[in-house]
Amino acid sequence: MKVIVVGAGIIGSLIAYRLVQAGAEVTLIDAGLPAHAASGASFGWINASFYADNDHFNLRAAGIEAHRRLAADLESDAVQWPGCLCWEHQGDALESQYKALKDLGYTVDIISEVTFARIEPFAVAPSRALYFPGEGCVDLAALTCEAIASAASGGLRLIMGHAVTGLSDAGGRISGVETVSGRIAADRVVVAAGVATEAILKGVGVALPMLKRPGLMVRSEPLKPLLRHILVSPVQELRQTPQGHLLAPAAASHQSDASESIDQTPDVLADRTMQRVSALIGRDVAWEQVTLAHRPVPHDGLPAVGACGPEGLYVTTMHSGATLAPLVAEMAASEIMQNALGNEQSALLAPYRPARFTD
């Protein structure tokens, strides 16, 4: 089976990796280089503590386990499991968040100011915080490249810097993709093109409306090891990379940020972000780099995964791919290879089929 995967971000690259493992002949196409868009500017927080509803929690919790399987398969160190300290909500709201997650079976504790100061000594301690020991973080650019390298050793072909302009529809069946240079044939096409997904699908009459969700990621100068956990405060999400850089979204509540535009120049927003970071860790920190990415968010804010439109077409787009990409890649590859999902996997994907936008 010849499969074209459109989009070499984390989702498309992992789907290509799993398809090669399953025996498909796969070509991965991107208008830029691997992880050049949203995947290369991700905060990289792997979690199920941020969720829309119970179904979404279940999907994200399964995503955490899929990350562990993938890291073992790739023998990757792109994923770390430092745990998360969260005090985004205060008072009764913190208690409510704790109870809701406990009821869902999530591993969470409430820790005191004294305990916080002991396990995270370089951050200004709140009076109380939630502790999620099972949460992690991922360098999505590194993981993308590792997956591509592994798949390439199994026969994956790459076409980079070459935009897909549309899909070829032959009598109600997808027969390949249209590029800036012409048509490339395939038996199946997977569209994992991030914010470009809507326009690509529209050409074959498939509706998948996307929200505008630009985001800036700010990276500090390299510092000595300071932070042991991912930190989620009322004013800032923050983590430190193994290379010493602090990563901080420019939006205070990055996970739920609904801004449709950037209201200031990147340097001004990076300065403001570093001011918040400096207050959070009690020392002055300078920024080194700020990167804009357009996060791929379907119109209802939830993932879109599955076959849609003409036969042979499969779509995957979502935020956050940092948590969900390994799980989605496993299930998507199985379906694309025409292997039925088990009951549990089918239930996980049922709320997120792209047909909901046209039914």
DSSP one-letter string for 238-306: EEE-TTS-EEEESSTTGGG---SS--S-HHHHHHHHHHHHHHHHTS---EEEEEEEE--EETTSS-EEE
Q: Which residues of the chain have pLDDT under 70?
A: 254-256, 359
Q: Which amino acid appears at position 352 of this protein?
A: Y
Domains and CATH numbers, the chain: 2-43+141-210+299-357 (3.50.50.60), 84-133+214-294 (3.30.9.10)
Of 290, 293, 292, 295, which Cα lies nearest the Cα of 246?
290
Q: What are phi and psi of 264, to 5 degrees?
A: -145, 170
Of 251, 267, 271, which Cα lies nearest the Cα of 259?
251
pTM for this prediction: 0.96
| pLDDT tens-digit series, residues 123-141 | 999 999 999 999 999 999 9
Distance between CA atoms of residues 302 and 62, nearest Å: 16
Distance between CA atoms of residues 194 and 190, nearest Å: 12
Distance between CA atoms of residues 341 and 81, nearest Å: 29
Q: Is 122 helix (H, G, I), strand (E, B) or coil?
A: coil
Q: H or E element: which one contains 5?
A: strand 2-6
At residue 254, the pLDDT reads 66
At residue 261, the pLDDT reads 87
At residue 359, the pLDDT reads 64
Distance between CA atoms of residues 134 and 153, nearest Å: 32
CB-based contact 124:279 (threshold 8 Å): yes
At residue 237, the pLDDT reads 97
Distance between CA atoms of residues 70 and 202, nearest Å: 33
At residue 260, the pLDDT reads 87
